[in-house]
Structure 1
Amino acid sequence: MMLNLMAKGMIEVKAVLKRDFFLYFLLLLPMAYIFIFKYAPIYGVLMAFQDYNIFEGIGGSEWVGFDVFNFIFHQDSFYRALQNTLVLNLLDLAAGFPAPIILAILLNELRYARFKKVTQTILYLPHFLSWVIIGGMVYLMFSSGGMANSVLSRFGLGNIDFLSQKTNWLIMYTAVGVWQSVGWGTIIYLASIIGINKDLYEASDMDGCSRLRKIWHITLPGIKPTIMMLLILQIGRMVSIGFDRPFVMGNSLVSDYSDVISTYVYRIGIGSGDFSQATAVGLFQSVVGLIFLAAANYGAKKIGEQGIW
């Protein structure tokens, strides 16, 4: 009986493979990419537990256990970079996370289709600019001799240190990040809004509901699962931060705020050639990020929301 079931299962598998051969063939490319660039490099994590020598390689370098981590955790510069990473990510979470939600709802409420399309296109454009270009634009606009201060001087107002005063730099960093990403982030929420049952809006029109009531009672509950999923993912990235943005927008006058984990890894890994420390910091980021992700997912389920697994 068991053999018959196994034989029947093999026949069904062969039939499925034969029917969808090209789909499985196309799947090989992304699977190969994930294996080569995501799983294979995990072997390099061993450097975090070695006194890595670039000439000896991983196989020939001396094993030191957790000595590298002990050294890092006694460095004030590491804790400063970690603190700055958390602060900047919290600012992005507070200002950048609700922005695309609000923008998507506003765009959805527009009735003039052509204006809506033009607005969407303009809002998406900053996402396709590199941070090097954006950094140059910000410097030309907001440096001490930039356009913004020139306008302020014409009106008899004093110069504002947008990029060299720490509090102002934090505001600029957050604002520029929101401007760069808000348009692209609305794509997900607009797609989610489109999936809401239109009958609910028609029924609310018959009940005489205002636009604000429809947004509060239909649109927001309809995209709530998407909001929760993206919120969990963003919380999981709280100890990770891109290199380009803080590196391009930072300067020596605000290094106490702009030096984050990614620039710290670049400085000790590429600048000083200490690959063991850089790998250890990267492993620390991954482990803590996984803990944050699991905690956020667990918290979402405890309050009755849908998690990501």
Structure 2
Amino acid sequence: MITDSKTNRKRKSLFQYMKQNYMLYLFLAPAIILTIIFKYIPMYGSIIAFKDFSPMKGIWGSDWVGFDHFTKFLTSPNFGDIFMNTLKLSVFGLVLGFPVPIILALMLNQVKRASIKKNIQLILYAPNFISVVVITGMLFIFLSPTGPINTILSFFMDKPISFMSDPDAFVSIYILSGIWQGAGWASIIYVAALSNVDPQLHDAATIDGASLLQRVKHIDLPTLKPMMAVLFILAAGGIMGIGFEKAYLMQTAMNIPTSEIIATYVYKVGLQAGDYAYSSAVGLFNSIINVILLIFVNYVVKKLNEGEGLY
């Protein structure tokens, strides 16, 4: 009886709180509704990953096949190559790309003149607003055998290098171009966090004889540490979630061995070949790996970061 009365009091107080702050919930309602419509309701379609889906029969009319599509993908001859290609692009992109926005933010924080700082930020942020199609076109132009890169290399080499047709060069081109395009924009959140650092801390440290690196280490980095932990967890959680657009546009007949990833494979099998059930199973497999990585990385970061994590 005591437990029931406590539960009733909690429910009553929660109802009173919601009634008093109903405007806040009204502001929150559109985001919740859109999330349910575009994120949760589409999960219903994941059922076709376990069925021999036929558009004529519909989702419920199609025959149930269980984990047959997953088994087919895991035992396919190209599973190892596709999985490792996706993992390489993701891991190398995370390891090489994650520190760059932090370094840029720390460097921008040292620029004292506002006009110069704004111009530098404009240059760094601009690539983010260039579409993936344009970026890929620029790569094909600059790295073509007759492009400016090979023109410069011709002074040192006899033959031009066909970068976009070289499977070994694909990973480097993909990652470096991605860092160039997104690092400046990704540094915004770190620049905003550093703007909250009290300048008196730097002044006091300078008076005490601290060098620039010491001030960055003991003042700036501790300020960024919680933000770095959260963003790293989110980045690691989406480590297998590479968008297919850029990889697909950069693909050529010669670099397929290293450019074929899960996302491009799903696109080709699902939309081009029309095998919707099998492609859904492959996509669901990729999502499950992402969730497992998110939980694991969050656990590790919380252990190393004194309990501070995503959740």
Contact 2:167 2:259 in 1 (8 A): no
After superposition, what is the alpha-carbon deviation per residue over 1:249-283, rounded to whole angstroms, capped at 9, x for unaligned? 22111111110010000011111111111111111
In structure 2, distance between residues paired with 1:178 and 1:143 = 21
After superposition, what is the alpha-carbon deviation per residue over 1:53-95, rounded to whole angstroms, capped at 9, x for unaligned? 1111111000011111111111122322111000011111122
For 1:115, the equivalent position in structure 2 comes to 116
Report the secondary structure of 2:79's partner residue. helix
More deviation, 164-173/44-53: 164-173
For 1:307, the equivalent position in structure 2 comes to 309
For 1:176, the equivalent position in structure 2 comes to 177
Q: What amino acid does structure 2 have at the position aligned with 1:308?
A: L
After superposition, what is the alpha-carbon deviation per residue over 1:134-154, rounded to whole angstroms, capped at 9, x for unaligned? 111111111112222234336
C-alpha change, 1:5 and 1:252, in structure 2 (3 Å) is closer
After superposition, what is the alpha-carbon deviation per residue over 1:137-190, rounded to whole angstroms, capped at 9, x for unaligned? 111111112222234336775412221222222221111010011011101111
In structure 1, distance between residues paired with 2:194 and 2:287 = 33
TM-score between the two structures when normalised by the length of structure 1 = 0.92
C-alpha change, 1:262 and 1:4, in structure 2 (3 Å) is closer
For 1:92, the equivalent position in structure 2 comes to 93
The yes-or-no answer on 1:72 pairing with 2:73 is yes
More deviation, 157-166/85-94: 157-166
For 2:127, the equivalent position in structure 1 comes to 126
Contact 1:240 1:289 in 2 (8 A): yes
Q: Which runs of 5+ in 1 are unaligned?
A: none
In structure 2, distance between residues paired with 1:5 and 1:248 = 57
Q: What amino acid does structure 2 have at the position aligned with 1:28?
A: A
Report the secondary structure of 2:161's partner residue. coil
In structure 2, distance between residues paired with 1:216 and 1:82 = 38
C-alpha change, 1:74 and 1:5, in structure 2 (3 Å) is closer
Percent pairwise identity: 38
> How many pairs were matched up?
308
Q: What amino acid does structure 2 have at the position aligned with 1:115?
A: I
The yes-or-no answer on 1:144 pairing with 2:115 is no
In structure 1, distance between residues paired with 2:154 and 2:35 = 54
| Deviation at residue 199 of structure 1 after TM alignment | 3.6
Alignment of 1:1-309 (within 5 A): 10=12, 13-14=15-16, 16-17=18-19, 19-153=20-154, 158-305=159-306, 306-309=308-311
After superposition, what is the alpha-carbon deviation per residue over 1:19-46, rounded to whole angstroms, capped at 9, x for unaligned? 5444322322111110011100111111
C-alpha change, 1:115 and 1:154, in structure 2 (3 Å) is same
Contact 1:81 1:261 in 2 (8 A): yes
Report the secondary structure of 1:62's partner residue. strand
More deviation, 147-156/285-294: 147-156
Runs of 4+ that moved beyond 4 A: 1-12, 154-157
Contact 1:78 1:264 in 2 (8 A): no
Q: Which runs of 5+ in 2 are unaligned?
A: none
Cα root mean square deviation, aligned: 2.3
Report the secondary structure of 1:203's partner residue. helix
Contact 1:161 1:168 in 2 (8 A): no
| Deviation at residue 226 of structure 1 after TM alignment | 1.2
Contact 2:168 2:258 in 1 (8 A): no
In structure 1, distance between residues paired with 2:109 and 2:31 = 34
Report the secondary structure of 1:51's partner residue. strand
Contact 2:101 2:186 in 1 (8 A): yes
Q: What amino acid does structure 2 have at the position aligned with 1:302?
A: K
Q: What amino acid does structure 1 have at the position aligned with 2:238?
A: R
Contact 2:90 2:239 in 1 (8 A): yes
